[in-house]
C-alpha cells in the first residue's frame, strides 16, 4: 500500500533535512490555542525557526494520550470557541506562508463525525500533508486507508515500546510519510531525560524497513534533540513548545524552535 | 443482516457474542501503546474461561465471598403500581459491597493475578465499582488506585471513605466534567504509564476489546441465576426483563440469560436526567449517534464536532455519555428496547420501593424500577388478569450510598444540610480532624 512515496509531503520534508545533513524537526502546536490567529502565527514562527514539519493538533474533549500541559491548552482552545473546521484554515495559512509540511494530529472521533472522506478531502484541499492518529491503529483504519489513498495524504501511525515485532511490521507497512516512535510508555509531557526505550523502538521500526522514523514524547531540550538525532530520522517536540506559547507567546515559540534546531548543529552535522 | 431477526432454525445465539465486534460496534480504538496489554488480557481471559480451575475459583468466591446466588424476590406491593403484573427483583443489592459490580471485579482481579500484575486501577462514578475494586484488591493483597471525578467525590463522599478504609488510594479527577468519563481518561493515562505492573479493572461492559465481552462474561451469572430462579418460582419465563443502563454491565449480565428467548421482551432504561428535551441527560442510545470513545465504537453523546457532550443524571453511576457496544448492536437489531427515565421518575420509583417493599434501592436501579412500572402498565393493558404477566427487574445495587442525595431530593434537609428536626448534618463531618489520618479532608483541599 506504499503508493506514491514521492508524493508524500512529510516524507519529502524529512528527506530535505537529511539532504541538508541533519534530521527533521517536527513541531506540535494545538489548533486554536490560545486563539485561531495566534495558533497560525505560532506555527509560522516554528516553521521559520527551523521546524521542517508542523503538527497541528485538533483539540478534543477526551485526549487520553495527552499530559497536563497539552490538556490545559486544548481545553482552553475549546472554551475559546475552536471548531474542527477551523483546522483547515490554519493548515492553509501555514502551508501558504511557509515551506513546512503540515500534518494534523487528531483523535479519531472528530474525523469520524465529519466523515473520513469529507475530512480528508478538505484537509487535502487546504494543502495538508496528512494525519497523525494517536488512537487509530491500522487494524481499525480501513476507511482511512481508502480516503488517504484517494486524496494522497500521509498516514502517520504510532509504534510503542510495547509493540510486538509483528505489530511494528504491520504498522510500518500501513504508514506513509514517517513512523511515529513513541519514546516512552506514557502520555505527552516534558521529561528530564529521553527514555532509553526510544532507541530500541526506532531500531525495531528500521529493522521492519521503515524508511523514516521520528521520535516523540518527552522531548523538550536541545540535548534531547542531539541524542535522538544520532539514531532517528526526526525529532518531535510538543509540550515544551505549548508551554513556551503559554508563557511567552509567539516569540517564545520561535526562540525555542531555533534553540531546539540548534541541537542538530551540536552533532556536528551543520545546517 | 442478523440471523436472529430472520428467526427459524438457523437463528444464531445472541448470548455469547465474543467480540471484538458486535455488528459494526466494538473494536479497539486505542493507542498502540496499550494494544499489547489488551492482547495479553484477551489471551489470559480466553485461557481462563476454558480452565475448570479458574471457573471453580470464581464460583467459590461468588458463593462464599459475594453471597451468590443473589435472591429473586417477588415485589407484591410494588407490583400494584405497575399495572398489577407480577414483579420480581433480582437482588444484586444483596451481594457483598452492595451491587453487581463485585462479580466483574473478582473475575478481573483473578485474571490480573494470573498475569502477574500486582496493582489494580479503576475508575468509578457512584463509587460502587471503586469500592468493589478496593475490596478485591484487599482480598488478593494488591495495591489499588481509584480515579473518581471530583464532582462525584462530593456526591459520594461516603464511598470515598469506604475505599480508603479498604486501603485504596482515591484520586479526585479535576479534568473536564469531573465525572465518570474523565475518571476513565485518567485511568487510561495511568495504565499506559504503568502497564507492566498494573491491570486496569474497567467497571463496565464498554471500552476496547476484550473488555465488553469479558465484563459481560463475569456478569452472566446474574441472568443465568434469574432464569433458573424464575422457572423454579413460577414455572415459566418472564414476559419482560428490565435493567438500567449507564455503560450497561448489570444490564448485559441479566439480558444474557434471556436474549435467545424470543418470548421475553427486554428493556434497557437510560438516564433521562431533567428530560431528554432539555439536553441535560445521559440517554446515549436514545439521542446519541455512533462514534468512538474509550476504545470502542458505540452510540455516543457528541456534538457536531465529535466532541463528547457532558452527560447529566442524578445518578452518578449512570452519568456517562457512552454505552457498551453490545447494547448499541442489540438496539440496532431491535432485540432490546432502550428508553429514557427522568430523574423525577426514578426518584418516585425509589421512594415507592422503599415504602412498599422495605428495600432502599440504588438510584441507578431506580431507573429500572421506574421503567418496570411503565412496562407493567403497558403489558397489562387489555389483559384480563395481569397477574399472569411476569416482569423481572435487575435491582443492581442498594441505596445506602444515595441516602444524602435522596434526602436532599425529597426536601428532608434544612438549609444547613441537617436532616430536618435534627442537628445531623450531611455536609460537615462530625469530629473531622480529631484523628491524625483525616485523609479525605486533605483530598478535599487538593480539589479546591
pLDDT of B164-215, one tens digit each?
999 999 999 998 778 889 999 999 999 999 999 999 999 999 999 999 999 9
Count of domains for chain A: 1
Distance from CA of A15 to the nearest CA of B (A): 26
> B-chain residues within 8 Å CB-CB of A83?
305
From A15, A41, A52, A55, the catalytic residue = A55
Minimal Cβ distance to A60: which of B31, B182, B307: B307
- B428 or B377, which is more confident? B377
A55: annotated active-site residue:
yes
According to the model, what pLDDT value does residue B5 have? 46
Q: Which residues of B are catalytic?
A: 101, 123, 396
User: Among A74-88, B74-88, B168-182, which is the least confidently predicted range?
Assistant: B168-182
Interface contact A167, partner B, CB < 8 A:
yes
Query: Which residue has cell 418472564?
Result: B238
Share of chain B above pLDDT 70, in %: 92
pLDDT tens-place string over residues A116-166: 999 999 999 999 999 999 999 999 999 999 999 999 999 999 999 999 999
According to the model, what pLDDT value does residue B448 have? 34
Q: Do the chains contact at A137 and B35, CB–CB below 8 Å?
A: yes
Minimal Cβ distance to A110: which of B30, B294, B305: B305
CA pair distance A215, A233, nearest whole angstrom: 8
> What CATH class is the domain B69-98+220-404?
alpha beta
Q: Which of A58, A62, A88, A204 is the best substitution to test chain B (most B C-beta atoms within 10 A)?
A: A62
Distance from CA of B89 to the nearest CA of A (A): 37
* Alpha carbons within 13 A on the beta-carbon side of B201: 37
Write the CATH number for A158: 3.20.20.70
CA pair distance B230, B224, nearest whole angstrom: 10
Nearest CA in chain B to A157: B32
Share of chain B above pLDDT 90, in %: 84
Q: Which H or E element spans position B200?
A: strand B198-200
- What's the distance, CA A100 to chain centroid? 12
pLDDT tens-place string over residues B82-104: 999 999 999 999 999 999 999 99
CA pair distance B298, B252, nearest whole angstrom: 15
Residue B372 has pLDDT above 90, yes or no: yes
B322 contacts: CB under 8 Å, gap ≥ 6:
B181, B206, B247, B284, B293, B294, B296, B298, B299, B300, B301, B308
pLDDT tens-place string over residues A239-270: 999 999 999 999 999 999 999 999 887 554 43
Nearest Cα to B55, choosing from B206, B220, B253?
B220
Interface contact A83, partner B, CB < 8 A:
yes
> A-chain residues within 8 Å CB-CB of B304?
113
A143: annotated active-site residue:
no
According to the model, what pLDDT value does residue B156 have? 82
According to the model, what pLDDT value does residue B429 have? 46
- The angle that helices B249-256 and B325-332 make with each other, rounded to 10 degrees, is 60
B interface residues, A as partner, C-beta within 8 Å: 27-37, 39, 175-176, 181-182, 185, 188-189, 192-196, 291-294, 300, 302, 304-308
| Average confidence (pLDDT) over A210-238 | 95
Q: Do the chains contact at B305 and A84, CB–CB below 8 Å?
A: yes
Share of chain A above pLDDT 70, in %: 96
**Does A124 reside within a domain?**
yes
According to the model, what pLDDT value does residue B11 have? 61
Q: pLDDT band at B426, cuts 50/70/90?
A: low
According to the model, what pLDDT value does residue A161 have? 96
> What CATH class is the domain B24-64+101-211?
alpha beta
Residue length of chain A = 271
Minimal Cβ distance to A108: which of B36, B175, B292: B292
Minimal Cβ distance to A113: which of B175, B189, B291: B291
A5, β-bridge pairs: none
> A-chain residues within 8 Å CB-CB of B308?
61-62, 109
Residues 98-157 of A with CB under 8 A from B: 108-114, 134-137, 139-140, 157
- Per the structure, the complete domain to which residue A232 belongs is given by 5-263
CA pair distance B138, B159, nearest whole angstrom: 16
**Does A207 reside within a domain?**
yes
The mean predicted confidence, pLDDT, of chain B is 92
Nearest Cα to B86, choosing from B374, B392, B359?
B392
Q: Give φ, ψ of B168 to 5 degrees.
A: -85, 160
- B421 or B384, which is more confident? B384
Q: Do the chains contact at B28 and A137, CB–CB below 8 Å?
A: yes
Q: Do the chains contact at B27 and A140, CB–CB below 8 Å?
A: yes
- B319 or B138, which is more confident? B138
Residue B396 has pLDDT above 50, yes or no: yes
According to the model, what pLDDT value does residue B353 have? 98
Burial of B355 (0-12, 13-18, 19+ CB in 10 A): exposed
Residue B445 has pLDDT above 50, yes or no: no
Please report, for residues A82, A125, A238, the alpha-carbon distance to residue A74 in angstroms, rounded to integers and kept in the order given: 9, 25, 12
Eight-class DSSP state of A125:
H
From A41, A52, A66, A154, the catalytic residue = A66
According to the model, what pLDDT value does residue B423 have? 80
Nearest CA in chain B to A84: B305
Nearest CA in chain B to A86: B305
Residue B433 has pLDDT above 90, yes or no: no
Q: Which H or E element spans position B330?
A: helix B325-332
Distance from CA of A174 to the nearest CA of B (A): 13
Nearest Cα to B364, choosing from B352, B376, B380, B347?
B347
Residue B148 has pLDDT above 60, yes or no: yes
CATH 3.40.50.1100-classified regions of chain B: 24-64+101-211, 69-98+220-404
According to the model, what pLDDT value does residue B6 have? 44
Cell numbers found for residue A36: 485561531
Nearest Cα to B216, choosing from B317, B67, B104, B323?
B104
Interface contact A200, partner B, CB < 8 A:
no
CA pair distance A102, A91, nearest whole angstrom: 6
ipTM, interface predicted TM-score of the complex: 0.95
8 Å CB contact between A52 and A101: yes
pLDDT tens-place string over residues B327-353: 999 999 999 999 999 999 999 999 999
Nearest Cα to B293, choosing from B188, B200, B191?
B188
According to the model, what pLDDT value does residue A6 have? 57
| Average confidence (pLDDT) over B414-441 | 61
Single pTM value for the model: 0.93
**Does A26 reside within a domain?**
yes
Query: Which residue has cell 475448570?
Result: B52
CA torsion A104→A109→A114→A119, rounded to 10°?
30
User: What is the strand order of the sheet B25-29 is part of?
Assistant: B21-22, B25-29, B295-300, B289-293
pLDDT tens-place string over residues A172-203: 999 999 999 999 998 988 888 888 899 999 99
Amino acid at each position: 500500500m506504499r503508493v506514491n512515496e514521492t508524493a508524500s509531503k512529510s516524507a519529502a520534508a524529512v528527506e530535505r533535512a537529511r539532504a541538508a545533513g541533519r534530521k527533521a524537526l517536527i513541531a506540535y502546536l494545538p489548533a486554536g490555542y490560545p486563539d485561531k490567529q495566534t495558533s497560525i502565527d505560532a506555527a509560522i514562527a516554528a516553521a521559520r525557526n527551523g521546524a521542517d514539519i508542523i503538527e497541528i493538533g485538533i483539540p478534543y474533549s477526551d485526549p487520553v494520550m495527552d499530559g497536563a500541559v497539552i490538556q490545559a491548552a486544548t481545553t482552553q482552545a475549546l472554551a475559546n470557541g475552536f471548531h474542527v473546521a477551523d483546522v483547515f484554515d490554519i493548515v492553509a495559512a501555514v502551508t501558504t506562508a511557509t515551506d513546512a509540511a503540515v500534518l494534523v494530529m487528531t483523535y479519531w472521533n472528530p474525523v469520524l463525525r465529519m466523515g473520513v472522506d469529507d475530512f480528508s478531502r478538505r484537509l487535502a484541499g487546504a494543502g495538508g500533508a496528512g494525519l497523525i492518529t494517536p488512537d487509530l491503529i491500522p487494524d481499525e483504519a480501513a476507511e482511512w486507508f481508502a480516503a488517504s489513498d484517494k486524496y494522497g495524504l500521509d498516514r502517520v501511525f504510532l509504534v510503542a515500546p510495547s509493540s510486538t515485532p509483528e505489530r511494528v511490521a504491520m504498522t510500518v507497512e500501513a504508514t506513509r510519510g514517517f513512523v511515529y516512535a513513541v519514546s516512552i510508555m506514557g502520555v505527552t509531557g516534558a521529561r528530564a531525560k529521553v527514555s532509553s526505550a526510544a532507541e530500541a523502538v526506532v531500531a525495531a521500526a528500521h529493522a521492519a524497513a521503515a524508511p523514516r522514523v521520528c521520535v516523540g514524547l518527552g522531548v523538550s531540550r536541545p540535548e534531547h534533540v542531539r541524542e535522538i538525532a544520532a539514531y532517528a530520522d526526526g525529532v518531535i517536540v510538543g509540550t515544551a513548545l505549548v508551554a513556551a506559547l503559554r508563557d511567552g507567546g509567539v516569540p517564545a515559540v520561535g526562540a525555542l524552535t531555533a534553540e531546539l534546531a540548534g541541537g542538530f548543529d551540536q552533532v556536528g552535522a551543520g545546517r | 443482516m442478523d440471523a436472529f431477526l430472520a428467526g427459524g432454525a438457523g437463528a444464531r445465539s445472541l448470548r455469547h457474542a465474543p467480540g471484538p465486534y458486535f455488528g459494526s460496534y466494538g473494536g479497539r480504538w486505542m493507542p498502540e501503546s496499550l494494544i499489547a496489554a489488551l492482547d495479553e488480557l484477551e489471551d489470559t481471559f480466553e485461557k481462563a474461561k476454558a480452565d475448570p480451575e479458574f471457573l471453580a475459583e470464581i464460583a467459590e468466591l461468588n458463593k462464599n465471598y459475594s453471597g451468590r446466588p443473589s435472591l429473586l424476590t417477588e415485589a407484591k406491593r410494588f407490583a400494584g403500581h405497575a399495572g398489577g403484573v407480577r414483579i420480581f427483583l433480582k437482588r444484586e443489592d444483596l451481594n457483598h459491597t452492595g451491587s453487581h459490580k463485585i462479580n466483574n471485579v473478582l473475575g478481573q482481579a483473578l485474571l490480573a493475578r494470573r498475569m502477574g500484575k500486582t496493582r489494580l486501577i479503576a475508575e468509578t462514578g457512584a463509587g460502587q465499582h471503586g469500592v468493589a475494586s478496593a475490596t478485591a484488591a484487599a482480598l488478593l493483597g494488591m495495591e489499588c488506585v481509584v480515579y473518581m471525578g471530583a464532582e462525584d467525590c462530593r456526591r459520594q463522599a461516603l464511598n470515598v471513605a469506604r475505599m480508603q478504609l479498604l486501603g485504596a488510594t482515591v484520586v479526585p479527577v479535576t479534568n473536564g466534567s469531573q465525572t465518570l468519563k474523565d475518571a476513565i481518561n485518567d485511568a487510561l493515562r495511568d495504565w499506559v504509564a504503568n502497564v507492566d505492573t498494573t491491570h486496569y479493572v474497567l467497571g463496565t461492559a464498554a471500552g476496547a476489546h476484550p473488555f465488553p465481552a469479558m465484563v459481560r462474561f463475569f456478569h452472566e451469572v446474574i441472568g443465568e441465576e434469574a432464569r433458573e430462579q424464575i422457572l423454579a418460582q413460577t414455572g415459566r419465563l418472564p414476559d419482560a426483563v428490565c435493567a438500567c443502563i449507564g455503560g450497561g454491565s448489570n444490564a448485559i449480565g441479566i439480558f444474557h440469560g434471556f436474549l435467545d428467548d424470543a418470548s421475553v421482551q427486554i428493556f434497557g432504561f437510560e438516564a433521562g436526567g431533567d428530560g431528554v428535551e432539555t439536553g441535560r441527560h445521559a440517554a446515549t442510545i436514545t439521542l446519541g449517534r455512533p462514534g468512538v470513545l474509550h476504545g470502542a465504537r458505540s452510540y455516543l453523546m457528541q456534538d457536531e464536532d465529535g466532541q463528547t457532550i457532558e452527560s447529566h443524571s442524578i445518578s452518578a453511576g449512570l452519568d456517562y455519555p457512552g454505552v457498551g457496544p453490545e447494547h448499541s448492536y442489540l438496539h440496532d437489531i431491535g432485540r432490546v428496547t432502550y428508553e429514557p427515565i427522568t430523574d423525577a421518575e426514578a426518584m418516585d420509583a425509589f421512594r415507592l420501593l422503599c415504602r412498599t417493599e422495605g428495600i432502599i434501592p440504588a438510584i441507578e436501579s431506580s431507573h429500572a424500577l421506574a421503567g418496570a412500572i411503565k412496562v407493567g402498565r403497558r403489558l397489562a393493558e387489555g389483559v384480563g388478569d395481569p397477574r399472569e404477566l411476569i416482569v423481572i427487574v435487575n435491582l443492581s445495587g442498594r441505596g445506602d450510598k444515595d441516602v444524602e442525595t435522596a434526602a436532599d431530593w425529597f426536601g428532608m434537609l434544612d438549609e444547613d444540610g441537617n436532616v430536618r428536626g435534627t442537628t445531623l448534618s450531611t455536609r460537615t463531618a462530625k469530629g473531622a480532624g480529631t484523628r491524625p489520618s483525616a485523609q479525605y479532608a486533605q483530598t478535599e483541599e487538593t480539589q479546591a
